Structure 1
Amino acid sequence: METDKRPPGVGDGGGDGCLVGVIRLPVKIVAVLVVLPVRVVWELLVAGGRATHRHALAPLYAHVVEPLLRALGWLLATLLKLVFVWPWVGLWRYLITPVGRGLAWLGRGAYEQLLAPAGRILMTYVLRPLGTALAWIGRGGLRYLLAPLAKGVTWILWALAMTLCVWPWVALWRYVLAPVGRGIAWLAAAVHRYVLTPVGHGLLWLAAGVFRYLLRPVGLGLVWLVVALYRYLLRPVGLGVAWLATALYRYVLRPIGQVLAWAWNVAGRIVAALWRGLKWVGRVLVGWPASRVYRYVLTPAGHAVREVWRTGRAAVREARATVRRALFGTPPVEPTRSRARTLGSTTAAGNTPAPEISLHERQG
């Protein structure tokens, strides 16, 4: 026979608390006396409105209102055309268009039968001969009167321009600037030939003498001095310093460095041996006892404390669930949760038994 380990009241629907019962009764009374009548009246109004729309308003609109609106629209459109469109169409078609065509025919006939012949006669017998006579008079006046006058005026203006603008500058250049320029050029040539050229030759000869008899010997002396200083002083001193540095490195610094390297290696080996010894001593004196204490003392004590903590927490959870059920009742359906294993128990809340494992087997 299977045992039911659920708490009492779970799943049977009869675990309501006292607080829930006190609140639920007034709510049910208010719902029956207020909400239910209002909902019934609302549903009746909705059903009546739908029936009225379906059986009265829709047929009335389809068979009466819509045809009436269409007839009123056609009548209004016809009235608007009669008042605003047809009078202007009749005026344009039966008055303005015939009058315009008659005026156009009259104007075209007057132009073809009156204005065109009169214009041709006026052009042929009046305007063209008059224009020819005026052109002949103009050519004669231009050739025999205006051309000599223009030539005379042009010659006067040319002479005046030459007198005022050209001849003074030509005279200034010919009798003033050209002689002065030739005199200045002759003076410059004389200064160059008899002053600047001898002075330049003298300066060049002086510079050549200074370079040959002063700067060149001094430069050669300085070069010989630098060469002698390098050959007989700097080079021997440099060779001596190099030989001394080579000997110092070969016979002093390199042996000292080798000795220091050997001593560093020996010291490293000694320090490594001491460190290994210290590690072995620490492992023997500290590590192994600490591991034994942790494995055989602290671990069992921790497991015992953890089991006690779990047991106390499960007890507190059960007490809290009991108080909640007493105050608020139990929900109709609640998923079954597996309880934690207590100290010394080997089965969970389900039907599957847990394996029996002792503390020593778990540690081993």
Structure 2
Amino acid sequence: MEPRERPPGDGGDGCLVGVVRIPVKIVAVLVVLPVRVVWELLVALGRAAHRHVLRPLYVHAVEPALRVLGRVLATLLKLVLVWPWVGLWRYLLTPVGRGLAWLGRGAYAHLLAPAGRFLTTCVFRPLGAALAWAGRGGLRYLLAPLGKAVAWVVRALAVLLFVWPWVALWRYVLVPVGRGLAWLAAAAHQYVLTPIGHGLAWLAVALYRYLLRPVGLGLAWLAVAAYRYLLRPVGPGLAWLAVALYRYVLTPVGQVLLWAWHVAGRIAGALWRGLKRVGWVLVGWPASRVYRHVLTPAGHAVREVWRTGRAAVREARAAVRQALFGTPPVEPARSRARTLGSTTAAGNTPAPEISLHERQG
């Protein structure tokens, strides 16, 4: 039975979709929208904290402290682990080794070498010649007959201990036992294994013919009947139910959730832009106005007062130097580069200055 298509109605998606969509909208407005707004605020705060607090703190405080700590630790490790061993090797072991090597070379050259030459010439060489002469005589008249007798005895003992026992074991034990085992194996194969094998083969044929084959045919017939009279009628119904559940329940719910997520994102974006605009109106714009119309003119005035006072101090110092030492006043290079009456950079022609005497005159 094939599932029939539902005819489209005039009332939209139907009452089921409306019943599902209204609670989903309420949940989206009450739950999804606040969560999205809080999430956007947390993201903005995290970015601002990383940009203006954590990164400058790491660059200007943590990283220099880590560099200084690393250098101090490297110096301490060198002091504790490297320099003591270098000093021990350089100032103790190397001189001691050189002294021991010098003592060894002197002892070998002036003590051991002469003693060895004396012992070789006067003791070992005559003793070796005597032992060689005695050995040649003893080998010729005593050791040769004795060696032959010992070799014959050893050969006889070897044959008696290592050859004859194995020959006897093979001849009188292993060969009879092997023949008996071969006869037993042939008898067992002929009178026991062959009948048992024939019986097992007949039993396997009978088991397949009268048990396994009927049971297999019955199970196959049962599977065919279950598929024909149970699974095939029930399968289309289950497929129609799954299609209806996906089409009329899951798809509307997913669309409503997606719409709620997009709406929450737009509302959160609008709120964020409104907060930015309010922040600019309440804080940024007044701060920029104060900086432009109050702080900048005040800074320019302070700078001009500072320049005027510095030029006056410089002129007074030059006048005192001229009065005390009689030297003409020399203006420093910094003052020549930028004078009180000129705003040009170094290299251009500065404006003429009026000295203190000319002002008083």
Common fold: TM-score over 0.5: no
Q: Aligning the two structures, in what range does the TM-score lie when normalised by the shorter sequence?
A: 0.3 to 0.5
Higher relative contact order (CA closer than 8 Å, sequence separation 6+): 1
Query: What TM-score comes out, normalization by structure 1 length?
Result: 0.35
Query: What TM-score comes out, normalization by structure 2 length?
Result: 0.36
